[in-house]
Amino acid sequence: MAAITARASRSHPRRRSELGLILVGVVVVLAADVLAYLGTYDRLPPNLAVAGAAMLAIGLVANLLNRFLVPEADPVVMPVILVLNGLSYVMMVRLEPSPTSSPHLAGLQSIWSVVGLVGYGATLVIFRRSRDLERYRYLLAALAFLLLLLPLVPGLKDYAADQNGAYLWVKLGPISFQPIEFSKILLVIFFASYFVEKRELLSMATTRIGDRLVPDLRGFGPVALAWAASVGVIVLERDIGFSLILFVVFLTMLWVTTGRWTYILLGIVAFALGTFVAAHLLAQVNERIEVWLDPWKYLSTYGYQPAIGEVMMGRGGTTGTGLGLGGAPYIPVAQSDYIFAAIGNELGLAGTAAVVVAFMLLAGAGVRIATRARSEFAKLAALGFTVVLAFQSFVIMAGVTRLLPLTGVTLPFVSYGGSSLVANYIMIALLLRISNEGAQPVLTEPPRVIAPRRYSAAGT
């Protein structure tokens, strides 16, 4: 009983801190919403009270879920996510051409945010222990590859949603979604479980080549399989973004497990060769590399989007043109691929830096959760989830700023899209489940006291 009371007393400060940060975030997002509406339509939002109540309700529900289901979890993660999600809503309000436009991007994004929060709560309720995921690794791996192949099924492929030649969308009745957003979660769980089981085989040097010992060649099988799967995604689905993310996650988890740089070097060389071949076989991959090098050369065709995005970010300057006062709606596909450019145009360097810092806070919290995890599986899984969020954010922001070729992946919690929002909320739920387990006190039995043996006067 005393242990339960002590645990409850420790959980209240964390959740109170989380609630305070959430309330501050709600105020910031609501103020940004007012500024965006004033700048766009020159009047206050007609549903300001409703929007404020909805934002407050989402924050309170998230805090209550954490208070009762993961009371010891990190208090920083959820406030940062809700602020990013709120910024997404504000930008959707800004990018709508008129209050009566269709589709209502802000309204749809709000609905998907609620669905994502429901998925977050359901994940916490269903998975009470992280080790439950480890038991079904091969089933989850099979399900992940099935999801990866769904866009290639002729009767399920959504031709209307797919853009730029990539095959990523599936249509089931009235709902369209990207299966790969959910498959990456399942693959992280499989990788973590597999590496924990095969740690010794992958890390120990048992094969002699000349006068040196190297790891068994069988250990390179997973690298070869991951390389083949990544290149297969590029070739069959014509998408380099998600394949790069999955491959980087795989190599990072493999390196953390074994500590051997050989796997990293071999994997990078293999992926580079596969991408080189894909660039010569697939026009879409080659086009993205060309516009990365010089978008102005192809301004009249496929270089228009990165060129306009670059100009609009430059016009934002240090503090931006102001919400609702810039040229964000003129950026092609600004609600998803180029949401970072829209933020740079209207919020400037200060706004984009704030977004980068938010993702750095998430990455730092994820690494902290991984280092404090109780089991090796939980450590690797938390690291994998963190790398997915951090590297995906880096890839899309680097693509918009032309540090890397544009991949077309979503900016987590900021870009428009239901698949990305729901999948990322589920991923955060699993990460906070691991955080809650790592922060719980270790219950140990008190040492047994052995009474001294009594001797009689006769010495017996």
**Per-residue pLDDT tens over the stretch 265-311:** 877 887 788 777 777 776 777 778 888 888 888 888 888 888 999 99
Torsion angle, alpha carbons of 296, 301, 303, 309, to 10? 100
Burial 66-86 (b: 16+ CB within 10 A, else e): bbebbbbbbbbbbbbbbbbbb
Comparing 43-52, 391-400, 443-452, the range with the smallest average pLDDT is: 443-452
Q: How far apart are CA 46 and CA 193, in angstroms?
A: 51
Where residue 3 falls among pLDDT bands split at 50, 70, 90? very low
R_g over Cα of the chain = 25
- DSSP-derived 3-state class of residue 215: strand
Evaluate if residue 102 carries a pLDDT over 60: no
Where residue 87 falls among pLDDT bands split at 50, 70, 90? very high
Asked if 77 contacts 431 with a C-beta cutoff of 8 angstroms, the reply is yes
The reported pLDDT for the residue numbered 103 is: 55
Evaluate if residue 6 carries a pLDDT over 50: no
Give the highest mean pLDDT range of 85-89, 255-259, 323-327: 85-89
- DSSP-derived 3-state class of residue 422: helix
The three-point CA angle 187-86-15 to 5° equals: 75
Q: What is the pLDDT of residues 150-165, one digit of tens each?
A: 877 777 766 555 555 5
Q: Tell me which residue of 61, 57, 47 sits closest to 93, measured CA to CA.
A: 47
Q: Is 8 exposed, middle or buried (0-12, 13-18, 19+ CB in 10 A)?
A: exposed
The reported pLDDT for the residue numbered 243 is: 78
Mean pLDDT of 76-95: 93
pTM for this prediction = 0.87
Q: H-type helices in 372-414, by residue range?
A: 376-400
Q: Is 232 exposed, middle or buried (0-12, 13-18, 19+ CB in 10 A)?
A: middle
Burial 286-325 (b: 16+ CB within 10 A, else e): ebbebbbeebeebeeebbebbbbbbebbeebeeebbbbbb
Q: What is the pLDDT of residues 196-218, one digit of tens each?
A: 887 777 766 666 665 666 666 66
